[in-house]
């Protein structure tokens, strides 16, 4: 596309001569437009959207210098050539002030004029290429944003994003997650209960579209796929809004059956105020979904309501959870345990509280649910444990349930004792040792550690925080800072060398983290300032 030029001079013969001196099309310009004074030039510049203005200085109404200043103010990218019959330095100085490309004296030489316009054309070409490249990158980035955002949500709820990077990524991916309260939902579409012949992918798309309309708009929901289910991060202004969220989710499940011909169950997790804790909310949403075998499908199940209800009716008390988890933990850690006695005590303590068939059934299902999660998390072979058993044969009455549970736990203990599940004992301890041995490696990540341990990042993050009270990233940072503080006190090494030794490639970022940890810069810390 040719560039546009405007010639401004009150002498018609001068303008005619300039136009005739150059083959404008050959150098990439349209034949110039003409203005006879500054005021007329301003109107034409706006109307024609010109790229270059060549103006005389001496003109009526508005001279060339005033015109140039006004053009630069209105159109900062415009290119200006000033020409005059007066060889005076003051004019040249004024032209330089408003960034004129050239100052040319009359009479105008054709070769000089051609050289000037060729130079400007090359400059405009370069600017156009850069602009187009930026536009292409911006377009590609905009097209990629939905994928980047969905990946971010998945990583966030899996606990694989360091807390100190969340705000940066929210900004980069143009995500608005201001809360201040957050809650995760898992929307499960049953394939076995849906109408046969319906494409599962199209069914999910249909349900998600309805969820965006019914749930997303009300709670500014962020949707993404998570382990085959539809996930949503809900944002609430008040923690009490969770009651409304549960009610609307329940209504959504009923509507899905009518509109989408789908049986949909929604698992609702915990309310959190910090995005770094949202992985726990997602874990609980997943747990809520597992209760559909107890409460039924086609409804919303809020984990907080279940746990609250459990405490009230003694179906699932905190002590009960700790008691059974303690049994599983002792088996996992290879400690001595009398499984017959432990199971007997567990059932006598908690099972006898249920004086109804439904109550005891809930207790047995909940217990087996914990067994199942333990098996999955520890990567044991479920078929090897449940030999010739199904859930229906495990749960029939109290005595048979006790006998089956004892046999299952003994088989789990045997598998772990035989070393078929290497690396299960104390993930946290092994991870801490890995940090102690490799803290100087700037490329340490949770994924790298999990690869060494052979466990999933989500399970590792949960276990590590539970055993140490810290996230892995916080533990790694604390350990590096302790090492750095010792090196600052005990050596004379430069700060950038110490930064490298404790795993920081950027000394400036090291100083920022150190100051955040200790309240003073590394140099002040070395000098004893607090």
Are 252 and 292 contained in the same domain?
A: yes
> pLDDT above 70 covers what percent of the chain?
84
Of 109-118, 182-191, 254-263, 467-476, which range is least confident?
Answer: 467-476
**Mean pLDDT (whole number) for 98-112:** 80
Number of compact structural domains in the chain: 4
Domain contains 144: no
The per-residue pLDDT for 425 is: 44
Q: What ranges make up the beta strands (E) of 287-338?
A: 300-302
Confidence of residue 422 (pLDDT cuts 50, 70, 90): very low
Strand-strand pairing, 181-189 and 102-105: unpaired
494 vs 317, residue with greater confidence: 494
Q: Does residue 477 carry a pLDDT above 60?
A: yes
The per-residue pLDDT for 137 is: 73
Are 281 and 322 contained in the same domain?
A: no
Query: Could you tell me the CATH number of the domain that includes residue 103?
Result: 3.40.50.2300
Q: Does residue 121 carry a pLDDT above 90?
A: yes
Of 326-330, 343-347, 497-501, which range is least confident?
Answer: 326-330
Domain contains 281: yes
Q: Does residue 415 carry a pLDDT above 50?
A: yes
Unique residue bearing structure tokens 């103006």: 55
Helix/strand/coil for 326: helix
Q: Does residue 308 carry a pLDDT above 90?
A: no
Mean pLDDT score of the chain, rounded to an integer? 83
**Mean pLDDT (whole number) for 128-141:** 78
Domain contains 140: no
Query: What sign for the dihedral angle of Cα 351, 354, 358, 362?
Result: negative
**Mean pLDDT (whole number) for 196-216:** 87
306 vs 180, residue with greater confidence: 180
Q: Does residue 486 carry a pLDDT above 60?
A: yes
**Mean pLDDT (whole number) for 249-275:** 92
Residue pair 501/522 in contact by the 8 Å Cβ criterion: no
Are 125 and 10 contained in the same domain?
A: yes
The per-residue pLDDT for 143 is: 79
Q: Name the most confidently modeled range: 69-83, 312-326, 364-378, 389-403.
A: 69-83
Are 438 and 411 contained in the same domain?
A: no
The per-residue pLDDT for 423 is: 41
Cα angle vertex 9, ends 7, 14, to 5°?
90
Are 181 and 274 contained in the same domain?
A: yes
Q: Does residue 334 carry a pLDDT above 80?
A: no
The per-residue pLDDT for 356 is: 60
Nearest to 253 by CA among 202, 211, 200, 307: 211
The per-residue pLDDT for 367 is: 84
Domain contains 147: no
Confidence of residue 140 (pLDDT cuts 50, 70, 90): confident
**Mean pLDDT (whole number) for 187-215:** 85
Residue pair 343/402 in contact by the 8 Å Cβ criterion: yes
Q: Which structural domain range is residue 516 located in?
A: 427-526
Are 375 and 481 contained in the same domain?
A: no
Confidence of residue 335 (pLDDT cuts 50, 70, 90): confident
Q: With a threshold of 0.75, does the pTM exceed it?
A: no
Domain contains 322: yes
Domain contains 155: no
Query: Could you tell me the CATH number of the domain that includes residue 180?
Result: 3.30.70.270
Q: Order across the sheet with 5-8: list the strands.
A: 33-35, 5-8, 52-56, 79-84, 102-105
Nearest to 69 by CA among 58, 80, 61: 80
322 vs 500, residue with greater confidence: 500
319 vs 521, residue with greater confidence: 521
Rounded to 10 deg, the angle between the 457-468 and 472-490 helix axes is 60
Q: Does residue 446 carry a pLDDT above 90?
A: no
What is the distance between the alpha carbons of residues 260 and 207, in angstroms, rounded to a whole number?
6
> pLDDT above 90 covers what percent of the chain?
32
What is the distance between the alpha carbons of residues 400 and 391, in angstroms, rounded to a whole number?
12
Query: Could you tell me the CATH number of the domain that includes residue 478?
Result: 1.10.10.60
Q: Name the most confidently modeled range: 195-199, 281-285, 374-378.
A: 281-285
From 301, 327, 361, the end of a domain falls on 301
Residue pair 243/122 in contact by the 8 Å Cβ criterion: no
Domain contains 136: no
- pLDDT tens-digit readout, 163-178: 889 999 999 888 999 8
Would you say how long the chain is, in residues?
530
Are 51 and 86 contained in the same domain?
A: yes
Are 274 and 342 contained in the same domain?
A: no
The per-residue pLDDT for 424 is: 40
From 301, 330, 347, the end of a domain falls on 301
Confidence of residue 462 (pLDDT cuts 50, 70, 90): low
Domain contains 214: yes
Nearest to 35 by CA among 45, 25, 20: 45
Q: Which residues of 90-124 are buried (b: 16+ CB within 10 A; e: fewer)?
A: ebeebbeebebbbbbeeebeeeebeebbeebbeeb
What is the distance between the alpha carbons of residues 260 and 177, in angstroms, rounded to a whole number?
29
Helix/strand/coil for 160: coil
**Mean pLDDT (whole number) for 460-482:** 83
**Mean pLDDT (whole number) for 469-477:** 87
The per-residue pLDDT for 315 is: 35
The per-residue pLDDT for 312 is: 33
Q: Does residue 402 carry a pLDDT above 80?
A: yes
């Amino acid at each position: 596309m040719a560039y546009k030029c405007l010639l401004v001079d009150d002498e018609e013969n001068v303008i005619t001569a300039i136009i005739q001196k150059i083959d404008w099309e050959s150098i990439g310009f349209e034949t110039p437009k003409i203005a006879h004074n500054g005021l007329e030039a301003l109107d034409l510049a706006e109307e024609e959207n010109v790229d270059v203005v060549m103006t005389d200085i001496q003109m009526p109404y508005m001279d060339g210098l005033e015109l140039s200043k006004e053009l630069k103010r209105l159109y900062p990218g415009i290119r200006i050539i000033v020409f005059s019959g007066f060889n005076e330095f003051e004019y040249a100085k004024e032209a330089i002030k408003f960034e004129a490309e050239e100052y040319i004296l009359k009479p105008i030489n054709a070769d000089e004029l051609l050289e000037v316009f060729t130079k400007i054309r090359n400059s405009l070409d370069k600017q156009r290429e850069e602009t187009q490249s930026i536009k292409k990158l911006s377009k590609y980035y905009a097209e990629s944003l939905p994928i980047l955002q969905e990946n971010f949500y998945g990583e966030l709820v899996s606990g694989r994003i360091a807390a100190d990077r969340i705000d940066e990524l929210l900004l980069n991916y143009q995500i608005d997650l201001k809360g201040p309260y957050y809650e995760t939902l898992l929307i499960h579409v049953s394939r076995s209960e849906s109408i046969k012949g319906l494409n599962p992918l199209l069914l999910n798309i249909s349900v998600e579209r309805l969820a965006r309309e019914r749930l997303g708009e009300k709670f500014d929901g962020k949707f993404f796929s998570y382990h085959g289910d539809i996930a949503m991060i809900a944002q609430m202004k008040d923690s009490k809004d969770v009651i409304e969220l549960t009610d609307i989710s329940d209504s959504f499940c009923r509507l899905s059956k009518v509109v989408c011909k789908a049986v949909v169950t929604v698992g609702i997790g915990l309310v959190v105020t910090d995005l770094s804790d949202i992985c726990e909310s997602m874990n609980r949403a997943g747990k809520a979904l597992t209760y559909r075998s107890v409460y039924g499908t086609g409804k919303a199940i809020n984990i907080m309501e279940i746990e609250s209800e459990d405490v009230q009716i003694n179906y699932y008390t905190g002590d009960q959870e700790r008691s059974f988890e303690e049994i599983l933990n002792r088996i996992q850690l290879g400690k001595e345990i009398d499984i017959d006695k432990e199971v007997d005590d567990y059932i006598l303590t908690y099972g006898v509280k249920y004086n109804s068939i439904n109550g005891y059934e809930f207790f047995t299902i909940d217990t087996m649910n914990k067994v199942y999660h333990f098996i999955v998390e520890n990567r044991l072979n479920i078929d090897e444990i449940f030999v010739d058993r199904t859930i229906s044969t495990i749960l029939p009455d109290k005595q048979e349930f006790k006998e089956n549970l004892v046999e299952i736990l003994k088989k789990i203990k045997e598998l772990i004792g035989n070393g078929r599940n290497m690396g299960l004992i104390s993930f946290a301890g092994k991870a801490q040792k890995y940090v102690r041995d490799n803290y100087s490696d700037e490329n340490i990540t949770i994924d790298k550690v999990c690869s060494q341990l052979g466990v999933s990042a989500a399970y590792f993050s949960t276990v590590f925080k539970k055993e140490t009270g810290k996230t892995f990233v916080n533990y790694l940072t604390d350990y590096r800072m302790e090492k750095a503080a010792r090196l600052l006190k005990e050596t004379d090494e430069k700060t950038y060398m110490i930064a490298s030794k404790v795993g920081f490639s950027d000394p400036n970022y090291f100083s920022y983290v150190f100051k955040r940890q200790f309240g003073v810069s590394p140099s002040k810390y070395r000098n004893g300032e607090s």
